[in-house]
Structure 1
Amino acid sequence: MPDITSTELHQRQQAGETPTIIDVREAWEHEEGRIPGAQNIPLNSLPEKLDDLDELKDQEVIVHCKGGTRATSAKAYLTQQGFTNVRNLEGGFQAYQQG
């Protein structure tokens, strides 16, 4: 699945869409600033949270971190676990904040 740009995500949110967004940053990073509607599951916690995410396996899931590195790992991991529509937010939270 191709990644998503911050512009596309902003446009979709402004149109009233509520995509599933997973913030794989640490909890303290999420507390400092977050994308509206994003749930925080730090990258190292993903394996233990898989059962909670099972209903999302065939739905679009957008993952993000600060700049993109951890989200790239999260996308690869979730894809290996059978998720079929995982997209990385290009440039991460930093790009999202810039609009």
Structure 2
Amino acid sequence: MNTITVQDLKKRIDSGEKINLVDVREPAEYDEYNIGGKLVPLGKIQDMDAEELEPLKEEEVIIHCRSGKRSASACLLLDSMGFKNTVNVEGGILAWQDAFGA
């Protein structure tokens, strides 16, 4: 698992780079505020129910949550499932909102 800051993530998004961004929060959190990632709640990954992410096993997968803790867990779980390049967003949505507003 690697890490990325919200500033570096925003630069990559703003540049138009194609990134695989996954949000592991719950649906209600996602509905309240999101930055466009694919919603795959941590519970699904914990249940080894991550088929929708399988095509990304060999690619970089950037994972975020509210604060960075659930996404770190998701990265470790996905690493154990054979994912080659998981990246945790440091500070999660809270850091994003601090840096760029809601």
TM bucket (normalised to shorter chain) is over 0.9
Aligned residue pairs: how many? 97
Secondary structure of 1:3 counterpart: strand
Cα offsets for 1:28-76 (capped at 9, x unmatched): 000000012x01111001221x222111001010111100110110000
Runs of 4+ that moved beyond 6 A: none
Secondary structure of 1:58 counterpart: coil
What is the Cα deviation at residue 98 of structure 1?
A: 2.4
Secondary structure of 2:22 counterpart: strand
Unaligned segments of structure 1, at least 5 residues: none
Unaligned segments of structure 2, at least 5 residues: none
- Taking only the aligned residue pairs, the percentage that are identical comes to 39
TM-score by length of 1: 0.92
Match of 2:56 in 1: 56
Match of 2:5 in 1: 5
Match of 1:42 in 2: 41
What is the Cα deviation at residue 6 of structure 1?
A: 0.2
CA RMSD of aligned residues (A): 1.0
AA in 1 matched with 2:68: G
AA in 1 matched with 2:10: H
TM-score by length of 2: 0.90
